[in-house]
Amino acid sequence: MEDLKGIIHNNYSEIQSRIEVACLRSQRSLGSVTLVAVTKYAQMEWVKALLELGCTQLGESRTPQLNERAAVLPDDVYWHFIGPLQRNKIRRTILNSNLIHSVDSLKLLSAIDRIAAESGLQPRVLIEVNLAGEENKKGFTKAELLAGWTSICAVSQVSIEGLMTMAPHHKDPELARPVFRELSELRDQLQAISPQEVQLKELSMGMSGDFEVAIEEGATIVRIGSALYEGLK
């Protein structure tokens, strides 16, 4: 157990240091970036070790596991739902999610809004954008988002907090930079045409292989999984 905790501590500290350096490089404050520990494949003892280090922002991508873990872990955990959200699981997902990253269609957003109204909840969400044009990734295209933004902003129960994207996987993180930059520019473009109550504060972009580049391009949330557990079996 001590070895496990030591490995996670070292990985977590190294990632925090890299985030700090990326923030300094881009003249941003360290507090402007939230590290979300992706726990989809993490064993429970790994998750508890992260909590002991003060990492309470956790990301899950499956509703059953989200609800199971939310039921047994401390109430101060801030849960990010980062996986594809099926409409038949909306009700169960919004109960335990503090922020949903993966709203990938107007149909899904409308369903969340309706169910939230029925449940008396006000879920916070990010709009997922597929800027790379990859067929295996979900999300609005840039054109769809711009054309449908008025309808998207018309929801009554859901708070739209920002945008999320996933860059194509490359060994060279620099190849992800254009995607991250485009999301940041798109956020600014959408903010200019948004009603006053819609404040797009969050940009969720960057994972283990490219989060430093994402920070340099304006990420406010980075989603880190494999780099936290490197060296564990």
| Neighbouring residues of 104: CB distance < 8 A, sequence distance ≥ 6 | 84, 85, 128, 130, 138, 139, 140
Neighbours of 2 (CB within 10 A): 6
Residue 88 has pLDDT above 80, yes or no: yes
Q: What is the pLDDT of residue 157?
A: 97
Run of H or E residues at 182: helix 177-192
Mean pLDDT calculated for residue range 107-124: 97
For 34-41, what is the mean pLDDT? 96
Which tens digit of pLDDT belongs to each residue from 48-59?
A: 999 999 999 999
Question: Which of these ranges, 64-73, 126-135, 174-183, has the smallest mean pLDDT?
Answer: 126-135
Give tens-digit pLDDT for 9-22.
999 999 999 999 99
Which of 84, 161, 66 has its CA nearest to residue 122? Answer: 161
Distance CA(144)–CA(146), nearest Å, equals 6
38: three-class secondary structure by DSSP: strand
The span from the CA of 207 to the CA of 34, in Å, is 12
Q: Residue 162: which H helix or E strand, with range?
A: strand 159-164
The single-letter code of the amino acid at 122 is Q
pLDDT band at 1 (very low <50, low <70, confident <90, very high): low
Radius of gyration of the chain (CA): 17
User: Domains in the chain, start-ordered, CATH in brackets?
Assistant: 2-228 (3.20.20.10)
Higher pLDDT, 233 or 178: 178
Burial of 205 (0-12, 13-18, 19+ CB in 10 A): buried
pLDDT at residue 233 greater than cutoff 80? no
For the segment 126-143, the average pLDDT, to the nearest whole number, is 89
| 207 band by pLDDT with thresholds 50, 70 and 90 | very high
Q: What is the predicted pLDDT for the residue at 2?
A: 63
| Average of per-residue pLDDT values in the chain | 96
